[in-house]
């Protein structure tokens, strides 16, 4: 037989029940006692009711004693007692009664003495009268009436107090204790109790909740520490073979550069993933802190599609990438590594849903003020009724081991960048995923267009024949040829160094970063030859943040090699008299219009880096106007000082700020407003 499990609540109820039972018994005894006490006061009044009945016996007895016939007294009493059930009379002769008071013999008997007096000095004795409450109808009725009334009021009081005796412990003890037990057991029902416990119990509850929270936080921290140690070990184990792989890539001079770039990008992605994991678990409090940067999306897609072609080269899958002309130079404010991971995951999901032979098509275009990335496949598709659940996460279609987090996590990531994630799918036909990202200004390291001067010499230094073919094709354009642009190609840095003294001062250098036959890299060569103001770094390493920073400090713009095919190239038809730099295209357009009306030759720019290369090829007497507040936190007065130190003295600050703010700028000839200073 199993015993009922012990609980604090059941024990409290049991103890309260026992005490209520004992109190009930005590109350009954008190009621019974009070009733008897009332009857005892009535017994004192018995002689007043009984003595009139005894008076005839007293007279009879006195007469019989006078005639010396005492024997008949007892006979008389026997006859009286036989006919009277309420009390009994006994004659005690010749003795004086010690007390005439009524005596109560607990619990139900009573007695008192009735004196007979004296005759001629002769003591007659007394009657001893005794009886029982039970046998006395008057007393019994009085007792029952009093007992009944007291019992009725007691029961009524008990009936009123008993529910309170249960509710108060339930409210003050049992229910709060059950709630605490639920809290300790992490039971959701703990929040369903509608309680207002005393302040002491509320304090106890607060401390219990704090203890539970601290315990859970400690358990989570311990789990994170353990996971972080595991992640650190995995990252450490990954880095060793990655280092070896990177060393092999650097020595793989015999491989085409495109293959080296793909290998380097894959290696770098693995390294970025490992570093992000390590950073997250070493400092989990900063896991949600991400820095957004303007990134060239077309380059990310081009490298992603190259990686996927290499990854799935053994499968009959056709990968296509389409980038519209306007989208080649478009930037979005994102995290490059996280977007690459999301796109890689989406493409992998699409491939897993493909039949034996399939197509994956990526498209990048401008959609009003957004950049639109579309990923299309001809896979199994997703039923309409499941699309919402898949975007919410936890549901997978067409994958043997899928968990459904690819689409949902990608959607959350894109939306965190103020973008939109759209899904269109038809079962047995395929799926289209459209990612819309707000377009932003180009990064300050990026060269968006190549502006040349008539008869300028262009030097190309690159070890990749494919790049030379691209530039040769670009500079063979009839428009450029008519402007007498000189085009020189070098594959070796040492040969360029030897030829350098013979080159014109206005030569523009397009230098590769990776120079296998050179002891350093292209950036080192630029600094060695002191041609930073006339150089552009053409490289596939444009995604390296450290390289971007070094180029920015040196004033060297970066041209991604993939963009070499698409960068706009133009030649100034005539040498400008005025240069105007403002990040607002509307303002630069108004200056250009007013200059044409005034017959002035003007060249406008919306960023410093585009203007720098052109300005350094112009005469020192050229008028240069620059805005104070430019994009990417650049200051016009600082750029003007840079030009002043290079010998340009016709420098003007075109700004809406007060002139006094720039009183210390001795290199400025004048501070003017935003209106063009032309007389039309």
For residue range 531-548, what is the model confidence (pLDDT) as tens digits?
Answer: 988 899 999 888 888 999
Percent helix, strand and coil across the chain, each rounded to 5? 50, 20, 30
Asked if 404 contacts 390 with a C-beta cutoff of 8 angstroms, the reply is yes
How many CB atoms within 10 Å of residue 451? 19
By CB atoms closer than 10 A (0-12, 13-18, 19+), residue 174 is buried
DSSP structure class, residue 394: S
Q: Say whether pLDDT at 248 is over 60.
A: no
Asked if 564 contacts 464 with a C-beta cutoff of 8 angstroms, the reply is no
E strands in 338-446: 358-367, 370-377, 420-426, 430-440
Beta-carbon-side half-sphere exposure of residue 215 (alpha carbons within 13 Å): 10
For tokens 């659940």, the residue is 389
Which residue in 472, 520, 545, 514 sits closest to 257, CA to CA?
514
The whole-angstrom separation of Cα 626 and Cα 583 is: 10
Q: Say whether pLDDT at 383 is over 60.
A: yes
Find the mean pLDDT for residues 52-81.
85
3-state secondary structure of 584: coil
DSSP string, 419-454: -EEEEEEETTTEEEEEEEEEEEPPPTTB---EEE-T
For tokens 């003017």, the residue is 672
- Least confident segment among 37-51, 486-500, 588-602: 37-51
Task: Compute the CA torsion angle 548, 551, 553, 557 (nearest 10 deg).
Answer: -100
Q: Tell me, what's the pLDDT at 301?
A: 93
Tokens, residue 653: 């600050």
DSSP structure class, residue 545: H
Asked if 371 contacts 364 with a C-beta cutoff of 8 angstroms, the reply is yes
- Least confident segment among 216-225, 416-425, 604-613: 216-225
The whole-angstrom separation of Cα 472 and Cα 460 is: 10
Biggest CA-to-CA distance, the chain: 184
The whole-angstrom separation of Cα 308 and Cα 583 is: 38
Strand partners, 318: 359
Q: Say whether pLDDT at 247 is over 60.
A: no
Helical H segments across 119-253, by residue range: 137-169, 175-184, 199-251
The whole-angstrom separation of Cα 490 and Cα 504 is: 16
Strands 358-367 and 370-377: antiparallel
In what helix (H) or strand (E) does residue 546 lie, and over which residues does it extend? helix 545-554
* pLDDT tens per residue across span 140-153: 777 777 777 777 77
The whole-angstrom separation of Cα 290 and Cα 335 is: 8
The whole-angstrom separation of Cα 510 and Cα 30 is: 114
Q: Say whether pLDDT at 284 is over 60.
A: no
**Confidence band, pLDDT 50/70/90 cuts, at residue 10:** low
Percent of the chain with pLDDT over 90: 22
Q: Say whether pLDDT at 122 is over 60.
A: yes
182-185, long-range: CB < 8 A, 24+ apart: 183/208, 183/209, 183/212, 184/208, 184/212
- Least confident segment among 11-15, 48-52, 211-215, 572-576: 11-15
Asked if 173 contacts 204 with a C-beta cutoff of 8 angstroms, the reply is no
Write down the pTM of the prediction. Answer: 0.58
What are phi and psi for residue 37, nearest 5 degrees?
-65, -40
Task: Compute the CA torsion angle 432, 437, 441, 447 (nearest 10 deg).
Answer: -30
Find the mean pLDDT for residues 279-302.
73
**Confidence band, pLDDT 50/70/90 cuts, at residue 403:** very low
**Confidence band, pLDDT 50/70/90 cuts, at residue 355:** confident
**Confidence band, pLDDT 50/70/90 cuts, at residue 653:** very high
The whole-angstrom separation of Cα 538 and Cα 462 is: 9
Q: Say whether pLDDT at 277 is over 60.
A: no
Find the mean pLDDT for residues 504-522.
88
Which residue in 196, 178, 198 sits closest to 187, CA to CA?
178
Q: Say whether pLDDT at 282 is over 90.
A: no
Q: Tell me, what's the pLDDT at 665?
A: 92
* pLDDT tens per residue across span 295-340: 999 999 998 898 888 888 888 899 999 999 999 999 999 999 889 9
DSSP structure class, residue 660: G
User: Does the 447-563 domain belong in CATH 3.40.50.300?
Assistant: no
DSSP string, 43-85: HTTHHHHHHHHHHHHHHHHHHHHHTT-THHHHHHHHHHHHH-S
How open is the CA angle 184-189-192, to the nearest 5 degrees? 120
Q: Tell me, what's the pLDDT at 400?
A: 47
Which residue in 608, 604, 612 sits closest to 534, CA to CA?
612
**For helices 522-529 and 545-554, what crossing angle results, to 10°?**
10
The whole-angstrom separation of Cα 401 and Cα 172 is: 54
Tokens, residue 501: 């003294």
Strand partners, 603: 579
* pLDDT tens per residue across span 357-375: 889 999 999 998 899 999 9
Which residue in 40, 149, 129, 119 sits closest to 89, CA to CA?
129
The whole-angstrom separation of Cα 640 and Cα 668 is: 7
Higher pLDDT among residues 528 and 167, named by residue: 528
3-state secondary structure of 501: helix
- Least confident segment among 162-166, 304-308, 400-404: 400-404
Q: Tell me, what's the pLDDT at 324?
A: 94
For tokens 């299309």, the residue is 376
Q: Say whether pLDDT at 402 is over 50.
A: no
Q: Say whether pLDDT at 404 is over 50.
A: no
* pLDDT tens per residue across span 565-578: 999 888 877 778 89
Tokens, residue 390: 């898949």
The whole-angstrom separation of Cα 475 and Cα 487 is: 7
Q: Tell me, what's the pLDDT at 35?
A: 67
Find the mean pLDDT for residues 256-268.
59
Report how far Cα 311 is from the mean position of its chain's Cα atoms: 35
For tokens 């296998």, the residue is 516
**Confidence band, pLDDT 50/70/90 cuts, at residue 379:** confident
Find the mean pLDDT for residues 399-421.
76
When the pLDDT of each residue in the chain is averaged and rounded to a whole number, the result is 80
Find the mean pLDDT for residues 59-82.
84
DSSP string, 12-36: HHHHHHHHHHHHHHHHHHHHHHHHH
Higher pLDDT among residues 203 and 165, named by residue: 203
Q: Tell me, what's the pLDDT at 287?
A: 44
Which residue in 108, 111, 136 sits closest to 126, CA to CA?
111
Strands 293-296 and 331-334: antiparallel
The whole-angstrom separation of Cα 487 and Cα 459 is: 6
Architecture of domain 574-680: 3-Layer(aba) Sandwich (3.40)
Q: Tell me, what's the pLDDT at 519?
A: 84
Q: Tell me, what's the pLDDT at 197?
A: 55
Q: List, by residue range, all CATH 3.40.50.2300 domains of the chain.
A: 447-563, 574-680
Asked if 615 contacts 624 with a C-beta cutoff of 8 angstroms, the reply is yes
Q: List, by residue range, all CATH 3.30.565.10 domains of the chain.
A: 290-440
**Confidence band, pLDDT 50/70/90 cuts, at residue 83:** confident
Distances (CA, A) of 75 to 72, 119, 240: 5, 22, 134
Specify the CATH number for 290-440; select among 3.40.50.2300, 3.20.20.70, 3.30.565.10, 2.30.42.10.
Answer: 3.30.565.10
Task: Report whether the peptide linkage leading into residue 107 is cis, meaning its omega lies within 30 degrees of zero.
Answer: yes
Strands 651-654 and 623-626: parallel
The whole-angstrom separation of Cα 325 and Cα 315 is: 31
Q: Tell me, what's the pLDDT at 439?
A: 92
Percent of the chain with pLDDT over 70: 77
């Amino acid at each position: 037989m199993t015993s009922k499990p012990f609980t604090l609540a059941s024990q409290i109820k049991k103890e309260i029940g026992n005490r209520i039972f004992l109190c009930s018994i005590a109350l009954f005894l008190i009621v019974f006692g009070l009733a008897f006490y009332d009857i005892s006061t009535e017994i004192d009044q018995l002689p007043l009711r009984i003595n009139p009945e005894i008076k005839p016996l007293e007279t009879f007895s006195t007469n019989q004693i006078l005639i010396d016939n005492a024997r008949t007294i007892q006979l008389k009493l026997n006859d009286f007692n036989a006919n009277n059930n309420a009390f009994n009379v006994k004659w005690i002769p010749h003795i004086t009664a010690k007390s005439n008071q009524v005596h109560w013999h607990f619990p139900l008997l009573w007695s008192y003495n009735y004196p007979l007096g004296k005759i001629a000095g002769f003591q007659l004795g007394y009657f001893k009268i005794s009886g029982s409450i039970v046998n006395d109808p008057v007393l019994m009725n009085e007792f029952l009436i009093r007992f009944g009334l007291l019992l009725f009021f007691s029961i009524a009081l008990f009936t009123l107090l008993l529910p309170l005796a249960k509710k108060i412990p339930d409210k003050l003890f049992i229910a709060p204790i059950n709630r605490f037990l639920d809290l300790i057991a992490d039971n959701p029902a703990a929040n369903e109790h509608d309680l207002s416990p005393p302040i002491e119990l509320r304090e106890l509850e607060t401390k219990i909740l704090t203890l539970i929270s601290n315990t859970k936080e400690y358990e989570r921290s311990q789990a994170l520490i353990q996971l972080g140690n595991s992640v650190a070990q995995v990252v450490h184990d990954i880095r060793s073979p990655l280092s070896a792989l990177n060393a092999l890539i650097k020595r793989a001079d015999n491989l085409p550069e495109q293959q080296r770039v793909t290998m380097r990008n894959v290696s770098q992605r693995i390294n970025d993933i490992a570093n992000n994991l390590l950073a997250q678990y070493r400092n989990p409090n900063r896991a949600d802190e991400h820095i957004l940067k303007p990134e060239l999306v077309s380059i990310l897609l081009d490298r992603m599609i190259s990686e996927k072609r290499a990854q799935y080269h053994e499968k009959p899958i056709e990968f296509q990438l389409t980038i519209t002309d306007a989208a080649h130079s478009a930037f979005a404010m994102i995290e490059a590594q996280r977007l690459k991971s999301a796109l890689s995951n989406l493409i992998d999901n699409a491939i897993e849903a493909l039949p034996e032979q399939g197509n994956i098509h990526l498209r990048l275009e401008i959609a009003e003020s957004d950049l639109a990335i579309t990923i299309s496949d001809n896979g199994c598709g997703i039923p309409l009724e499941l699309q919402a659940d898949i975007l919410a996460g936890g549901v997978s279609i067409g994958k043997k081991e899928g968990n459904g987090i690819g689409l949902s996590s990608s959607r959350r990531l894109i939306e965190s960048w103020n973008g939109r994630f759209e899904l269109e799918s038809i079962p047995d036909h395929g799926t289209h995923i459209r990612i819309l990202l707000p377009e932003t200004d180009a990064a300050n390291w990026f060269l968006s267009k190549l502006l040349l001067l008539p008869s300028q010499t262009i030097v190309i230094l690159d070890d990749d024949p494919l790049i030379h073919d691209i530039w040769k094709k670009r500079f063979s354009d009839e428009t450029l040829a008519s402007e007498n642009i000189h085009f020189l190609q070098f594959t070796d840095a040492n040969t360029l160094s030897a030829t350098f003294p013979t080159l014109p001062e206005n030569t523009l250098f397009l230098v590769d970063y990776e120079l296998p036959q050179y002891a350093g890299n292209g950036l080192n060569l630029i600094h060695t030859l002191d041609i930073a103001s006339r150089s552009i770094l053409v490289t596939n390493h444009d995604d390296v943040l450290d390289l971007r920073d070094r180029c920015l400090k040196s004033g060297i713009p970066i041209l991604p090699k993939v963009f070499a095919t698409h960068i706009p190239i133009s030649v100034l038809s005539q040498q400008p008299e005025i240069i105007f730099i403002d990040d607002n295209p509307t303002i630069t357009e108004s200056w250009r219009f007013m200059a044409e009306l005034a017959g002035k030759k003007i060249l406008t720019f919306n960023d410093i880096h585009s203007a720098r290369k052109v300005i350094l090829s112009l005469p020192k007497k050229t008028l240069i106007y620059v805005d104070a507040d430019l994009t990417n936190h650049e200051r016009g007065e600082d750029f003007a000082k840079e030009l002043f130190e290079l010998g340009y003295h016709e420098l003007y600050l075109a700004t809406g700020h007060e002139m006094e703010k720039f009183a210390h700028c001795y290199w400025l000839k004048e501070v003017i407003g935003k209106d063009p200073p032309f007389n039309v």
